[in-house]
Amino acid sequence: MEEKKEYACPEQQRVGCALAGIYTALSIEGVLPIMHSGPGCIHAISSVLSVANGGQNPVPYMESVVPSSNLSEAEVVFGASDKLKSVLEHSLQYYKAEIFMLVTGCSAEIIGEDVGEIAEQYTTPEKTVLHVALPGFKGNNVWGHHQVLSALIDGYVSEYGETEVVPKRVNVWGVVPHYDPMWVGTLEKLETLLRRIGLEPNIIYGPGRGIDALKKIPTAEYNLVLAPWTDLDIAKKLERTFGTPYIHFPYMPIGPTAEAELIRTLAETFDLDPVLTESVIKERADRYFYYFNRNLVWIFDMHNQRSLPREFFANASASAALSITKYFVSDLGLSPRRIYIPEDVPKKHRKTVKKLFLETAGEYLTEEDIIFTDDGGLFEQYLKDVDQMVRKSAVIGSIWDDITAKKANMPFVSVCAPYGDVLVCDKQYFGTDGALTLMADLYNDAEKKGLVSAVV
């Protein structure tokens, strides 16, 4: 269901405006966004997706060095083409990049100048200049992320991409860089696992990838989407453009159950060695259960306390909420009470997302328990009205929900933007190893809040 808004303005911002799609460009080495927007725009988007989201800064181009035309009232009235050309010319001269992306924000889009023509004018065989329109009135940062990827596919990959398909090569999609605070560590662990079972992952984000990985996109045997709805449209676009089929595995696997499902899905699709894949599943599960069982007595003691959680609430992105719901239900035996998804999921995807939650936890959830909204504060308002027994549940969400959980004395884990003013570094919750970290984070927070008595 869609919750009615209680206030004129949504509370507790969890997404950035469309302009924050530049963080996808900044996560691809060799791509430089050039801002054609007001001077305060980049500061506004960084407040949600950068330092406040796990201490992240883009590399190699931090926000402070990203070129910008810094549109003023004069340019809005009299035109800004000459100023943009000047900024672009200096950027081409002084910045080391292969793809320069002219990013137009709200002011530039309202002016209505032909920025695409400027991009074509300055494109050379050595340096590609693209235009992508990211006005905040069109959508949020996830929409902006898709616009950036579409521009790269249409303007660069289609022109310069390799063509010969490589067996067992797979493009990885579904992770939105910077919006997912653990994107770097997650992709590193995923890449290691895919190589371990005999695949060649092609990931365009993060260190050591970039332009070469972009060129390899058309050569993949499959595209793999690891999210309930994010990047599905991109996978379909690649299928139309290059004829590459896609695999939709709707959650990033956390824990032995989901990880085994992913490995077996890939093994069947790519016809991988079954002896190898099953041995990898067993090896990773054995390690997980060694650590799990080593702490089992302590965990059981927690569950025997009246104030400790057997249930949970989620107020998080669809990707984080579904992945963790799968792990909590399948491997930890926790049951969800209500799921808030405050990222304004497009209406065309909501039916699919709701179905995935019901397939994962339909024993505990109804359709009314899955709420799409753009107001992150609705969960806090809801929690004020529920009974005290429900307040003994755990909470997963963003740093906003830490405040709510503290008031209600509930265990909490931050899983999505804004993650908080702490360092994420290479932390991740992926697979069996990441599940141990997530489990420890949840129960350590309960201990910190005095919800656990010592084992005697």
Give residue 27's pLDDT band: very low, low, confident or very high (50, 70, 90).
very high
- The CATH number corresponding to 18-160 among 3.90.650.10, 3.40.50.1980, 2.60.40.1840, 3.30.420.10 equals 3.40.50.1980
Q: Which of 56-60, 226-230, 341-345 has the lowest mean pLDDT?
A: 56-60
| Contact of 172 with 224, CB cutoff 8 Å | yes
pLDDT at 308 over 80: no
Assess whether the region 18-160 and the region 295-448 belong to the same CATH fold: yes
pLDDT grade for 359, boundaries at 50, 70 and 90: very high
What's the fold here for domain 295-448? Rossmann fold (3.40.50)
Q: Inform me whether the pLDDT recorded for 456 exceeds 80.
A: no
DSSP-derived secondary structure letter, 368: G
Which residues have C-beta within 8 Å of that of residue 73, sequence separation ≥ 6? none
At residue 300, the pLDDT reads 58
Query: In 54-182, which residue ranges form alpha helices assigned H by DSSP?
Result: 73-78, 81-94, 106-111, 115-122, 141-152, 158-160
Mean pLDDT of 19-46: 94
pLDDT at position 13 is: 86
Q: What share of the chain in percent tops pLDDT 70?
A: 93
Confidence band, pLDDT 50/70/90 cuts, at residue 225:
very high
Residue spans of the domains in the chain: they are 18-160, 166-252, 295-448
Fold classification of 166-252 is Rossmann fold (3.40.50)
List for the chain the helix, strand, coil content (%; round to 5).
Answer: 50, 15, 35
Task: Average the pLDDT over 417-444 and give the result.
Answer: 94
pTM: 0.94
- Kindly indicate the confidence band of residue 64, based on its pLDDT and cuts at 50, 70 and 90: confident
Q: Cα–Cα–Cα angle for 58, 73, 81, nearest 5°?
A: 70
